[in-house]
A and B are shown apart, each in its own frame.
Chain A
């Protein structure tokens, strides 16, 4: 191609194809600039900035919903840096819906006052753009960029209550661990990119095939490919460490309780769902990139080991999270450990997918898609139940100015709406029927059963997951015990909640938890969507 042809092709690719599919991210970028301008001309005196943020988020959500409706085949945007497929659109929609809900929560709970509003929403939107890059990354540079764009605003948001000692301490710990792990991850990316000679994630499997395939002649074949394989595995481990940090998997979980306890409950809720969801999408993409389109790029044992390894991490993470949650006295810390445990459950789905995807079980691809479907379903229910729990914590904090579980005594009777919402959310987090969490867990456990046929070890993981579910009931019940059984101490002021707007918000968020459990229509619709998304992704690989 001569230069003019390249230029024409580039303009075509960028303007004609990519920008349209990138419209929801662009809407968020415009909103960020808008927030800046609003403050510059002091419009925020009359127009609270959350309106700007909310409008921008809703516009972005609408654009993503249009993309979802249009569907369309998988394509690569911006000269192959991003991938545009159903999976990415789904997660985009997921993140934007969550963004809208979180902004609404902050409006009601009033954590950024009007003066700090523009800063807070700029950070929130900036982090969301990073997450959206993560879920559609097709290039190791974008992977790193997305993680950085997500993390750096999150550090500030954790320390948003800057006058509080706890908050600044949480932010400092988070930024130090986060920056360190990001560096380690980057080193892994450098090894991977250098070994394979590309940063394109969709070429990883193909390049590995070229390097390691037995046909490549040479006398010292085994020695040579061993060294290359070792390098690639080392690189993958280092990259996974970065993703594991975002997922708060053991042994990279230590930041999570500290950051959540120091951060405002709204921010903790945002990080617990959005950054986990984005990191899971990234993990799935990265794992599938290692597998590649045609199985057999590497001997399938490698993937089996990878899947089993993820299973071990998942089992340890879930167990650790639940055990540590047991002794907590602060509700946000308890929810942080519960978040760690849930990351463990969800990782079980990814492990099952990796075990299944290249196995010789019948309908392996279909079953792998089933595991992915479970993950998507779980994440969606998790969005509502976890956000509900954190929202209730925020509303209660506004009334009693405390986040200690013992101060929740008797609150369930004084604020029935919040109390019942908490019951729904916590029971759903346990995985009790008939709430959404039950079906979500069921789907993941079912795919673990499938995966057990490929490698019986997955049945061990399943057993551990089941035991954990039972065990987790105890500490969730402790919260409810405080809220309903323990009487409110004498002399403490009566707490009064108005139904509008806080109660209405709680109803809005917890209703889906119930709907995805009670009425078959909603789980069916959701699992249809999830399975379509999952099948599209798996069949493309």
Chain B
């Protein structure tokens, strides 16, 4: 069987779904961020695969480059916030953040 676009899309979908499950089940802020990275990578695989196999062309690769940069920026801010939370609460268990409710 020749390797085609669909094969890559399936890999992307698996990454996406793993990321979603990770975000839904992990209680640790950094664990959730890892899930986000998986989701973004699932989307990026799609972009690069489309860039190879469809009329999207090089634009797909460019978008994936921007995504990598934006993800790095987002991870930096998310970690700064997580550390700040840790300094205030001495935990990064998201469920311990229960002062905001109602």
Contacts and interface: CB of A to CB of B under 8 A. Distances in A.
B50 A190 contact: yes
B56 A152 contact: no
A42 interface: no
A168 B43 contact: no
Interface stretch (A83-91, A180-188, A435-443): A180-188
Interface string A258-294: 1001100000000000000000000000000000000
A197 B55 contact: yes
B35 A199 contact: no
Interface string B44-73: 101101100011100110110011001001
A328 B102 CA distance: 7
Contact of B99 (A163, A169, A183, A184): A169
How extensive is the interface on chain A, given as a class?
A: 35 or more
Given A172-B82, A197-B56, A165 B39 contact: no
Nearest to B16: A187
B14 interface: no
A520 B51 CA distance: 55
Contact of B81 (A155, A164, A184, A258): A155
Interface residues of B, number: 47
A155 B76 CA distance: 12
Contact of A198 (B19, B33, B59, B94): B59
B43 A172 contact: no
Interface in A301-358: 327-330, 333
Contact of A175 (B70, B81, B88): B81
Given A155-B77, A179-B74, A193-B50, A166 B63 contact: no
A189 B70 contact: no
Contacts of B33: 176, 179
Interface in B78-95: 78, 80-82, 84-85, 87-89, 92, 94
A197 B55 CA distance: 5
A194 to B, nearest CB: 3
Interface in B27-43: 29, 32-33, 35-36, 39-40, 42-43
Given A186-B43, A262-B100, A145 B70 contact: yes
Interface string A237-267: 0000000000000000000011001100000
A108 B47 CA distance: 47
B40 to A, nearest CB: 5
B54 A159 contact: no
Contacts of B20: 180, 184
Contacts of A494: none
Contacts of B87: 168
- Residue from A159, A165, A186, A189 whose CB has the most chain B CB atoms within 10 Å: A186
Interface in A128-181: 140-141, 144-145, 148, 152, 155-156, 159, 162-166, 168-173, 175-176, 179-180
Interface of A: 140-141, 144-145, 148, 152, 155-156, 159, 162-166, 168-173, 175-176, 179-180, 182-184, 186-187, 189-191, 193-194, 197-199, 257-258, 261-262, 327-330, 333
Given A189-B43, A197-B55, 13 more contacts: A141-B59, A141-B63, A144-B70, A156-B81, A169-B85, A179-B78, A182-B74, A186-B43, A190-B43, A193-B56, A198-B55, A257-B102, A330-B102
26 contacts: A141-B62, A141-B63, A148-B70, A148-B74, A162-B88, A164-B88, A165-B88, A169-B88, A171-B81, A172-B29, A172-B81, A176-B23, A180-B20, A180-B23, A183-B36, A187-B39, A190-B47, A191-B46, A194-B54, A194-B56, A197-B54, A199-B59, A262-B100, A327-B102, A328-B102, A330-B102
